[in-house]
Amino acid sequence: MGVKRSRRPENQDGGSTFVEKYVLESKKHIDNFEETSAANSWLENDSGGFDMEFWLISTEHLEDSLLFKDSEDFCVGMNYVAVQTFKAGINMLAFILMSNHVHFVVEGSLAQAKYFVNGYKGEYSRFLWKKYGYREHLRENDVDIRPLLIDCEALEKAIAYVQMNCVAANICIHPTEYPWGTGGTFFSQSSPVGRHLKDFSARERFRLLHTKADLPELWKINDQGFIIPESYVSKDFVEDIFHTPKRLNYFLQNSSKAKQRLEMGEKNLPAFSDQTIMTALPDLCKSLFQKPGPQSLNEDQLVELLRQIRYRFSANVNQLARVTGLTYEEAARYMDSI
C-alpha cells in the first residue's frame, strides 16, 4: 500500500526537507535491487507528495532453541542485516536481534521486504548449518510482514516497539545499552569508531562478512567485527520522523513493550540473558553431575538442573526451554514436579 506523506516541513534555509532529499537518494539506492519494476511504486507521485511504503518485519519466537548462541552468532547476524539491506535495496530504519527472534522496520516495496527477509533467513541458516549442523533452523521460522502508516504515528510506535525489545526482556535498562541492533544509533552525541571496508583486504572482508557482495567502501566495521548500523541505517530520516530525542524517548517509554514490562513486574522477567546462562551451563553440569551438558543428564538430574538455573538466574519457563533445548511443554512439566 502506498503511504502519502501529507506534510513536508521545510528546512530553515528554505531548501528541501531531509525527507525529500532522502527520497531522491533512495531512488539511486534502489538500483541495487533486482526487482526494480516492482519497487518503483514508492517513488514521487504525480501530486507532489511522496508515496512510500513502510513495513514491520518480525520472525516467530523460537520456543525451544536460539538463533544466536554467542557473540560470534550475533556479529554474523548483524553483518547479514547490512548485506541484505544492500542487496534488497531497502532503507533500514530500525532493527533488533534477540536470542530467539528478530524485528526490522524497513522502507521499500513489499517485494523488497520479502526479498530482504528471505535472503536474511537463507544466509543465516547456512551459517547455522556450517557452525552447528542445524538444518532448516531459520528457513522454517514463520515471518510476519505488516504495513505501517506514517500519518498516524504507526511508524514511530513500530520503531519504539523494536528498540524496546531488549528492555522488555530485562537485558538492559535502556535500548542504547544493547549492541545487537539500532538501540544506540539515533540522536547519539558521538560518532561510532571503526575501519572503512576499503581498508580490509578481500580475504579479510570475506572472513568477517561471509559474503563477496561489493559493499560500499566507506561502510565501517567496529572492533567487534560487524558493520556499524550507522553505515547503512537511515539515521537522519528516523531522527527527522521523531524530531527530537525527547519525543523519541516518549515513544520508547510508552511503547507496548515498555507497558508489558510494567504489567509483568520484575519478578516475572528473566534477570540474565540466554547467552549468559548458556555460557555457565557446562560448568554447572560438571560441578553438579560430572556431566558435560544437559544432553547427558537423566530425568532426575535434568529436573535438578532446571531448579538450579531458576534459582541462580531467576529464569522463567520460556528461558529454561530455550537454554536447555527442551520444548516448552517439557520444561513446564519438569518445573511442575519441583
Same-domain pairing of 212 and 87: yes
Amino acid occupying residue 227:
I
Which long-range contacts (C-beta less than 8 Å, at least 24 apart) are formed by 121-126? 121/59, 123/80, 123/83, 123/84, 123/210, 123/211, 124/67, 124/76, 124/77, 124/80
Same-domain pairing of 135 and 200: yes
In a domain, 59, yes or no: yes
pLDDT confidence bin for 162, thresholds 50/70/90: very high
pLDDT at position 338 is: 76
pLDDT confidence bin for 211, thresholds 50/70/90: confident
Q: What is the CATH number of the domain that holds 202?
A: 3.30.70.1290
pLDDT confidence bin for 43, thresholds 50/70/90: very low
Same-domain pairing of 239 and 324: no
| Higher-scoring residue by pLDDT: 229, 323 | 229
Task: Tell me what the pLDDT averaged over the chain comes to.
Answer: 81
Q: Is 130 exposed, middle or buried (0-12, 13-18, 19+ CB in 10 A)?
A: exposed
pLDDT confidence bin for 263, thresholds 50/70/90: low
Same-domain pairing of 276 and 321: yes
**What is the average pLDDT across 4-17?**
38
pLDDT at position 147 is: 96
Range of the domain at 100: 3-149+188-247
Is the pLDDT assigned to residue 156 strictly greater than 70? yes
Same-domain pairing of 232 and 307: no
**Per-residue pLDDT tens digits for 83-136:** 999 999 999 999 999 988 999 999 999 999 999 999 999 999 999 989 888 776
Is the pLDDT assigned to residue 66 strictly greater than 70? yes
Is the pLDDT assigned to residue 52 strictly greater than 80? yes
Is the pLDDT assigned to residue 337 strictly greater than 70? yes
Same-domain pairing of 145 and 276: no
CB neighbour list of residue 28: distance below 8 Å, 6 or more residues apart: none
Q: How many domains does the chain have?
A: 2
Same-domain pairing of 103 and 197: yes
